[in-house]
Amino acid sequence: MIKTRLIATASSVPEQIITNDDISKIVDTSDEWITQRTGIKERHISSGENTSELVADTARKLLERASVAPENVDLIVVASVTPDFGTPSLACMVQKEIGAVNAVAFDIAAACSGFMFALSIADKYIKAGVYKNAVVIGGETLSKIIDWKDRSTCVLFGDGAGGAYVEKSEDAGIICEDLGSCGDQYHILTEGYSPCSNAFNEIPSGVHPDWYVHMDGREVFKFATKNVIKSMQKVMSQEKLTQGDIKYIVPHQANVRITEVISKKLDIPYEKFYMNMERYGNTSSASIPIALNELNEKGLIARGDKIILSGFGGGMTWGTMLIDW
């Protein structure tokens, strides 16, 4: 049976680190307030790097670690809600930067679930026999769409990119998944509103472009705890797994309180959830692959381990994958 195996992981973040104390100098907040409510202590914030630079750097690392020549890459899928341009795609920019002249390249947008959706797409192409390998990356510079006067959102987010090089395998890889969307709740997490303005219409008074992130934190919390729990239960039930069969769970790094609720409701020890939001904040589509790469670089997972990746994001969307590492 054909599977899609993760061969290499990598990540890239801006060098500039912004602490909670730094943020308290520009908005009414404090390190204690942020830490207690989110678990975040610091985040990497761009000092000029755009998303394409972080994504391309991640792609270069992936090929180096996988010992793959750029011209042998079949597919590049990038997940992002903060690309450099509306078009071209980040994936096409990466294709140029790494010299993957034979690859098919495109972007997808599923917010913080983006990497899960992108990995699922690559998995289907590989299992269908269309391609043999893929570079899959989630990358964001969320700092450019944050209202730095809004303390309810500006304390949460960071910039970065993470990804995986995957290829066809008959031994191990992605076992099963659960993806979902709930458009009825799209309004609880939005960014980048652009009204239709042209030479033949008038924009209603008071309507204007709004590039900032807007979030109903309470409703997002409810959505995440409900749907991630159901999604993880579905995946584990499908394979008849108990928590003892799982080496690590890599959740979306959004809020430590969300993860604590999920851990308690599923009766899975909190220690099995790999967390690094304290140092990165919420990097949206990059958060799961950044954490996965850190887990891999530390040597905490080995071939044969079963791990779960699970995220949620704007749309609203969610995605869970069980992987035989």
Catalytic residues: 112, 252, 282
Q: How far is CA 110 from CA 44, 113, 119, 197, in A?
A: 22, 5, 12, 25
Q: How far is CA 240 from CA 4, 147, 251, in A?
A: 21, 45, 20
Residue recorded with tokens 């630079």: 53
Long-range contacts of 101-105 (CB under 8 A, 24+ apart): 101/70, 101/71, 102/71, 102/72, 102/73, 102/74, 103/73, 103/74, 103/75, 103/76, 103/135, 104/74, 104/75, 104/76, 104/131, 105/75, 105/76, 105/77, 105/78
